[in-house]
């Protein structure tokens, strides 16, 4: 049974007013319903790219009539497999500057959420499981604004999940709403804000994350070509590398082509995965001077020489457990340019 308590306009406005970040290039609602929150969001961030997901295709059709420029997906958001098979969602991992959520919470009972590849299980109210799943898509400087039932934040059944969130994020209750928020529903609800914790030194002698990363001597380039856009008309002559091109026998260039705005790289460099199931053979040195476009699933580390690229590839593979620590995420593991720069700043070849 689908939960049809869509967000009232007044509450959608209150949620957008709770936003404190200064810029939002990518705005998403993973429980969008008919798009009431995104309608408010487009007025405040007219230049942003809007993305919506909902399991109800009828609701998405209504949303697209109201917001034609919004890109949509009909995914079962609490299903890891469903999210993995969604091209739209795969391209949004750690990319969303602003996420809105009014998840369905009229279901009885609890939901068991599995955290990433380590298969850690957290049992919590279903509404909170939507929050856990959404955190994989939040950018480092992004903000999640959620409308949740009181019990999802303050209830005993939520404590393990809340503690898990607070390990890496700042969670704040913005406002507590009256019981008559929704017609024909007496649920008590709250608006919450979630952001990544800002790294701080535990001791005055410790350097900040940013200071350590700034010592990185390498030029680190994150690919920006979404595989959703490949072959949609804007095609360049530059070969495109995706994570699937990083094979056990080296980097294999195929018929994929980048777009006119693709970030590119030439050798020598070392390519690593940004997101996904991280494997040793997907740390790969390239030496050729041919210009290559990068998908948004790849990060390139530019080196001064072929020998340095070869040594860096070997170093990372030999330090595999240490390298894996820069990847995290409750579903798909991912890393960021900042984390990679911090790691590289401590590399001695």
Query: pLDDT of 264-311, one tens digit each?
Result: 999 999 999 998 888 999 999 999 888 999 999 999 999 999 999 999
- Rounded to the nearest integer, the mean pLDDT of the chain is 84
156 pLDDT band (50/70/90 cuts)?
Answer: confident
CATH of domain 209-345: 3.90.220.20
Q: What is the pLDDT of residue 266?
A: 93
The Cα 87–Cα 28 span in angstroms is 15
Domain spans, the chain: 9-196, 209-345
The Cα 240–Cα 71 span in angstroms is 23
Query: pLDDT of 220-248, one tens digit each?
Result: 999 988 887 666 555 678 899 999 999 88
Q: What is the pLDDT of residue 218?
A: 86
pLDDT at residue 11 greater than cutoff 50: yes
336 pLDDT band (50/70/90 cuts)?
Answer: confident
Percent of the chain residues past pLDDT 90, beyond the cut? 48
3-class SS string, the chain: CCCCCCCCHHHHHHHHHCCCCCCCCEEEECCCCCCHHHHHHHHHCCCCEEEEECCCHHHHHHHHHHCCCCEEECCCCCCHHHHHHCHHHHCCCCCEEEEEECCCCCCCCCEEEEECCCCEEEEECHHHHHHHHHHHHEEEEEEEEEEEEHHHHHCHHHHHHHHHHHHHEEEEEEEECCHHHECCECCCEEEEEEEECCCCCCCCCCCCHHHHHHCCCCEEEECCECCCCCCCCCCCCCEEECHHHEECCEECCCCCECCCCCCEECCCEEEEECECCCCHHHCEEECCCCCEEEECCEEEEECCCHHHHHHHHHHHHHCHHHHHCCCECCCCCECCHHHHHHHHHCCCC
Q: What is the pLDDT of residue 194?
A: 96
Q: What is the pLDDT of residue 65?
A: 94
Give mean pLDDT, residues 318-334: 82
Q: What is the pLDDT of residue 204?
A: 38
Q: What is the pLDDT of residue 293?
A: 92
CATH of domain 9-196: 3.40.50.150
pLDDT at residue 168 greater than cutoff 70: yes
pLDDT at residue 110 greater than cutoff 70: no
Strand partners, 114: 121
pLDDT at residue 333 greater than cutoff 90: no
Side by side, the strands of the sheet bearing 49-53 are 71-73, 49-53, 26-29, 96-101, 138-149, 189-196, 169-176
Q: What is the pLDDT of residue 152?
A: 87
Burial level of 159, CB count in 10 A (0-12/13-18/19+)?
A: exposed
Task: Work out the end-to-end distance of the chain between its first and last CA atoms, rounded to an integer number of angstroms.
Answer: 58
pLDDT at residue 31 greater than cutoff 70: yes
Query: pLDDT of 174-217, one tens digit each?
Result: 988 866 665 555 567 899 999 988 754 433 344 454 555 556 68
Side by side, the strands of the sheet bearing 298-302 are 219-222, 298-302, 269-273, 284-286
The Cα 276–Cα 273 span in angstroms is 7
């Amino acid at each position: 049974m689908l939960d049809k308590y869509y967000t009232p306009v007044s509450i959608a406005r209150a949620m957008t007013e709770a936003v404190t970040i200064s810029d939002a290039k990518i705005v998403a609602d993973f429980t969008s319903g008919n798009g009431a929150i995104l309608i408010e969001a487009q007025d405040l961030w007219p230049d942003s790219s809007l993305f919506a997901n909902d399991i109800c295709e009828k609701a998405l059709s209504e949303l697209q009539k109201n917001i034609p420029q919004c890109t949509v997906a009909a995914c079962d958001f609490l299903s890891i497999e469903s999210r993995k098979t969604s091209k739209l969602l795969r391209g949004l991992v750690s990319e969303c500057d602003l996420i809105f959520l009014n998840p369905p919470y009229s279901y009885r009972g609890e939901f068991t959420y599995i955290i990433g590849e380590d298969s850690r299980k957290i049992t919590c109210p279903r509404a909170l499981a939507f929050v856990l799943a959404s955190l994989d898509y939040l950018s480092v400087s992004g903000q999640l604004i959620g409308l949740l039932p009181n019990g999802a934040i303050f209830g005993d059944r939520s404590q393990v999940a809340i503690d898990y969130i607070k390990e890496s994020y700042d969670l704040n209750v913005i406002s507590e709403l009256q019981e008559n928020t929704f017609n024909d529903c007496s649920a008590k609800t709250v608006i919450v804000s979630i952001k990544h914790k800002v790294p701080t030194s535990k001791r005055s002698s410790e350097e900040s994350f940013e200071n350590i990363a700034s010592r990185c001597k390498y030029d680190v380039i994150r690919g920006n070509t979404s595989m959703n856009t490949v072959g949609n008309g804007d095609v360049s002559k530059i070969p495109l590398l995706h994570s699937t091109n990083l094979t056990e026998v080296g980097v294999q260039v195929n018929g994929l082509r980048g777009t006119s705005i693709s970030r590119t790289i030439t050798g020598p460099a070392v390519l690593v995965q940004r997101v996904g199931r991280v494997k040793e053979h997907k740390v790969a040195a390239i030496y050729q001077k041919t210009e290559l476009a990068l998908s948004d699933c790849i990060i390139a580390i530019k080196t001064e020489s072929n020998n340095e690229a070869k040594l860096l590839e070997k170093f990372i593979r030999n330090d595999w457990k240490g390298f894996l620590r820069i990847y995290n995420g409750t579903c798909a593991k991912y890393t960021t340019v900042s984390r990679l720069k911090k790691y590289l700043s401590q590399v001695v070849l």
